[in-house]
Structure 1
Amino acid sequence: MSKISFMTPVVTAFNPDGSLDVQGNKNVYEHLIKGGVDGIVVMGSTGEFFSMSMQDKKKLVDVAAETIKGRTRLLIGASCMDWRETVELGNYAIDAGAEAVMIVPPYYFALSDASVMEYYGKVAPAIHGDILLYNFPDRTGYDLKPEIILELARAHKNIVGLKDTVEKMGHTREVIKALRPEFPEFEILSGYDDNLVHNVMSGGNGCIGGLSNLAPEITSAWAKAVREGDLEGMVKGQRTIDQMMDLYAIGTPFIPISKRAMQLRGIEISDTCTVPFLPATAEQEAQIKAFMTRVGLL
């Protein structure tokens, strides 16, 4: 079995004026590394990649590589709407020291399977490093089907994994069944925190889940229990995470909520997000405090 991990799709820290907060991002990375996370994914959806300039993306790659590289796994989201910019950012990240880049296919228009193959057919050969596909149908409007993922793995040797952000494990399970016979080392990760155990028991490799931004020590202990076959620890972790999933319901989108919760834990960052995301309201902050008290984080 390939590596089993729980990695963090890390938030991106911004200054109150909207500029990139270099020290704030370093503070977050140190918090996660101290918490024992198995890896950090920079500029995933939680990292607000979709509304950052190329200049800021490259600057964040440099900050992340300087702080994280060699201390835990470093993956970097390189998704852009223009495939040429995806290649540019992807190669910049690989050259900086990222283990791999994660790439969601274009969004706004739902794409046919042939169009998905065409997109990755342009991108994958042009990136001189490993790629994780990123399937997020709720955001792209279409699905990367198991048979398409298999075709892409066959066509491009540097496509080595998948983040499957699909709530129902049935989809991820079908991907595992399709890929495992031919590509036993292909890394298949769930995008919802509470699917970790189900993913691994179905033959997957774990999770990239946002709750680890707030409580990396909890998700790290849970992943360790899974790796060690510690049933009691697995059950304890599942029940804790099941309760913690309530954080996502406090506000839409949840990213400002996560940043405010992290502030309440003492992490030195602003809760500023990219426009048009709004900070947590007083009512939401009260809900965050009640939630954190309930799960033992305050």
Structure 2
Amino acid sequence: MARSIPPPPGYYVPAVLFFDENEELDIPAIKAHVLRLAKGGVTGILVQGSNGEAQHLSHEERKQAIALTRATLDENGFNNVLVIAGTGAQSTRETKKLCVDAKEAGASHALVLTPSTWPPQMTLENILRFHREVADASPIPTMIYNFAVVTAGIDLDSDIIATLAGHPNIVGTKLSCGNIGKLHRLTSRLPSSDFAVFAGRSDTFLHGLNAGSAGAIAALVNIVPKLHGQVYKFFREGKLQEAIDLQGKLGHGDWAISKIGGVSGVKAVVSTNFGYGGPYVRGPLKTLDAENLNTQKHYQALLDLIELEKEL
């Protein structure tokens, strides 16, 4: 098997998926969000990352969300914006199917979580076997999604990820663990042309770039995509002090969004400030009352960022 090509460097968004008050897909809001993100300059959109509530969707809904994202981009002239699909599931068999579905719906790459229903059974041997078998069967290149918060504490170290990078169809990783040391160990061992290492949080965006990362795939991009583009532009132009100053603001924003309601909080901030969608999530997640945002002590940090975003 020839080596597959990783996603290009840049900044990507694990997009939230909007529902209505009956927990059905809110198609107009989903399309409005995809379009605003594309206009914000994102390199690609991750559908069904942790912010996309993949585990709350049927197979048909997962495929529909991918296809809707791809079609919205293409219909509005954003053909070069990638669509990456989260395809993680609790069995190898289902994960393989979701990778096939993702390809059929228009995704270019698949992002794969390590199964976590039975953590004691996820030995090194089983982790390696799972990711390799999925990559063998996937019609699109796969990436490793490392996020211990949603995998029952399973945290893949740099040795495991580097070993998996030897597979010709495993082409990158999203490190939502926020471990810059791990990121740097990987970038120093693996050329980005073969294996793209992405920071998984906005508060490690610039630090990851300085350590040789391909960029970031981060939740805060849902709210302020243009500001992430500015950090990336400053970095590439060598304007490090400007990049550091703006990165500091993104760091405060990343902390703020983690404190005001998780996935529903992201949706509430977007709907309140950009005029589409609502804060609704599927149970067992709890929907945040958007009217209570102003009572959140961290909300001002996000408002400050949004003001800067709207000036760009």
Provide the TM-score with structure 1 as the length reference.
0.91
1:221-267 Cα distance to aligned partner (Å, 9 max, x none): 11122222222431232122122123234335x11111110011123
Residues 285, 58 of structure 1: alpha-carbon distance in 2 compared, 3 angstrom cutoff: farther
The alignment status of 1:247 with 2:252, answered yes or no, reads no
1:184-206 Cα distance to aligned partner (Å, 9 max, x none): 53100011111111112111111
Out of 247, 267, 274, the residue aligned to residue 275 of structure 2 is: 267
Question: In 2, Cα distance between the equivalents of 1:237 and 1:161?
Answer: 26
Which amino acid in the other structure matches residue 209 of structure 2?
A: V
- The structural deviation recorded for 1:3 is 4.2
Comparing 86-95 and 31-40, the one that deviates more: 86-95
- The structural deviation recorded for 1:72 is 1.1
Provide the TM-score with structure 2 as the length reference.
0.87
Residues 162, 94 of structure 1: alpha-carbon distance in 2 compared, 3 angstrom cutoff: same
Provide the residue aligned with 1:136 in structure 2: 147
Q: Is the 8 A contact 1:212 1:219 kept in 2?
A: yes
1:6-62 Cα distance to aligned partner (Å, 9 max, x none): 110100111211111222111110110111112111100011112211121111111
The alignment status of 1:25 with 2:30, answered yes or no, reads yes
Q: Any residues of structure 2 matched to 1:15-164 within 5 Å, and which?
A: 15-69=20-74, 70-110=79-119, 111-140=122-151, 141-154=153-166, 156-164=167-175
Question: In 1, Cα distance between the equivalents of 2:210 and 2:300?
Answer: 33
Question: In 1, Cα distance between the equivalents of 2:88 and 2:275?
Answer: 28
Provide the residue aligned with 1:214 in structure 2: 223
Q: Is the 8 A contact 2:143 2:171 kept in 1?
A: yes
Q: Is the 8 A contact 1:226 1:234 kept in 2?
A: yes
Residues 101, 249 of structure 1: alpha-carbon distance in 2 compared, 3 angstrom cutoff: closer
Question: In 1, Cα distance between the equivalents of 2:197 and 2:30?
Answer: 27
Provide the residue aligned with 1:4 in structure 2: 9
The alignment status of 1:176 with 2:187, answered yes or no, reads yes
Which amino acid in the other structure matches residue 89 of structure 2?
A: C
Q: Is the 8 A contact 2:114 2:127 kept in 1?
A: yes
- The structural deviation recorded for 1:277 is 1.6
Which amino acid in the other structure matches residue 242 of structure 2?
A: G
Provide the residue aligned with 2:4 in structure 1: none
Question: In 1, Cα distance between the equivalents of 2:157 and 2:193?
Answer: 18
Which amino acid in the other structure matches residue 303 of structure 2?
A: T
Question: In 2, Cα distance between the equivalents of 1:117 and 1:249?
Answer: 31
Q: Is the 8 A contact 1:133 1:159 kept in 2?
A: yes
1:274-298 Cα distance to aligned partner (Å, 9 max, x none): 1022222454443265344344539
Comparing 72-81 and 280-289, the one that deviates more: 280-289
1:137-157 Cα distance to aligned partner (Å, 9 max, x none): 222121222222222222x21
SS at match of 1:166: coil
Superposition RMSD on alpha carbons, in Å? 2.0
Q: Is the 8 A contact 2:11 2:215 kept in 1?
A: yes
Q: Any residues of structure 2 matched to 1:276-287 within 5 Å, and which?
A: 276-281=284-289, 282-287=291-296
Q: Is the 8 A contact 1:134 1:164 kept in 2?
A: yes
Which amino acid in the other structure matches residue 85 of structure 1?
A: E
The alignment status of 1:290 with 2:300, answered yes or no, reads yes
> Structure 2: any 5+ residue segments left out of the alignment?
1-6
Q: Is the 8 A contact 2:111 2:142 kept in 1?
A: yes
Q: Is the 8 A contact 2:87 2:98 kept in 1?
A: yes
Comparing 114-123 and 230-239, the one that deviates more: 230-239
Comparing 23-32 and 282-291, the one that deviates more: 282-291
Question: In 2, Cα distance between the equivalents of 1:277 and 1:284?
Answer: 17
SS at match of 2:143: strand
> Structure 1: any 5+ residue segments left out of the alignment?
none
Question: In 2, Cα distance between the equivalents of 1:255 and 1:185?
Answer: 32
Question: In 2, Cα distance between the equivalents of 1:179 and 1:142?
Answer: 23
Provide the residue aligned with 1:230 in structure 2: 239
